[in-house]
Amino acid sequence: MSDTRIALVSAAVSGILFGFGLSVARMTDPQKIWNFLDLGAIPSGRWDPSLAFVMIGGIIVAFFGLRLDRWLGLAKPIAAAAFIKTSRTRVDAPLLIGAAIFGVGWGLSGFCPGPAIADLGLVPGDVYLFVIALFVGSWVAGQFLEWSEPSRTSNTTNAAATTSAL
């Protein structure tokens, strides 16, 4: 198989595993997200810390997984030209503002991007409206960012520009 094919099979396997994990952990259910975010439920004993366990489980594996390339001495990925990650290190205003806006939307809907897309075709209702709005919002904000910091985006390659969003 060519590298391109291997990369697509890998993307499919990774996507299926990711969706499977979200579903097993019931992160596909906004109610479950609200029950975690609702700290006001702690006194009554109805708080649900499950989401924290999902994150810890993910981080335990990814902590090692994202270092394996260096530990194994891989100069490049198995089926791609280079490992691509963000070069940004500074905590800046867009990071804080963006994360705050995202947090409000996440809290009010119980949906972050992964679970919303994973629910397409599975959960009855209008989740697709959320997903369409997600794409539109991301595109509009991307246009705004390109306009507001042209020097940065024009100096980076396509690949680097797309991954600067982690």
Partner 1 sequence: MQNFTPLSATVGGLLIGLATTILWLVNGRTAGISNIAGGIYPVRRGDELWRFVFLVALPVGAWLGFVAAPSIFAEVPRTLPVITLSPAWLVGTGLLVGIGTRVGRGCTSGHGICGLSRLSVRSFVAVGTFMVAAMIAVFIVRHVV
Is residue 50 within 8 Å of residue 33, measured between CB atoms? no
Kindly state whether residue 163 participates in binding partner 1, applying the rule CB under 8 A.
Answer: yes
Residues 81-100 that bind partner 1 (CB under 8 A): 81-86, 88-91, 94-100
**Binding flag, residue 104, partner 1 (CB under 8 A):** yes
Question: What CA–CA distance (Å, rounded) separates 83 from 67?
Answer: 12
- Regarding 149 and contact with partner 1 (CB under 8 A), the answer is no
Does position 158 bind partner 1 by CB under 8 A? yes
Q: What is the DSSP letter of 119?
A: T
Q: Buried b / exposed e across 90-126, counting CB within 10 Å, b at 16+? A: eeeeeeeeeeeeeeeebeebbbbeebbbbbeeeeeee
Helix (H, G, I), strand (E, B) or coil at 26: coil
Binding mask of the shown chain, residues 7 to 46, with x at each position contacting partner 1 by CB under 8 A? xx-xxxxxxxxxxxxxxxxxxxxxxx-xx-xxxxx---xx
Among 1, 2, 73, 76, binds partner 1 (CB under 8 A): 76
DSSP assignment string, 34-61? HHHH-GGGTTTT---THHHHHHHHHHHH
Q: Which amino acid is at 57?
A: G
Q: Does 1 bind partner 1 (CB under 8 A)?
A: no
With binding defined as CB under 8 A, does residue 105 bind partner 1?
A: yes
Q: Return all residues near 129 (Cβ < 8 A) that are at least 6 apart.
A: none
Q: Does 160 bind partner 1 (CB under 8 A)?
A: no
Q: C-beta of 150: minimal distance to partner 1 in Å? A: 16
Q: Which is nearer to partner 1, 62 or 151 (CB)?
A: 62
153 binds partner 1 (CB under 8 A): no
Among candidate residues 8, 13, 23, the one with its CA nearest the CA of residue 122: 23
Shortest distance, position 154 Cβ to partner 1, whole Å? 15
Asked if 150 is part of the footprint of partner 1 (rule: CB under 8 A), the reply reads no
Chain residues 129-148 in contact with partner 1, contact rule CB under 8 A? 129-142, 145
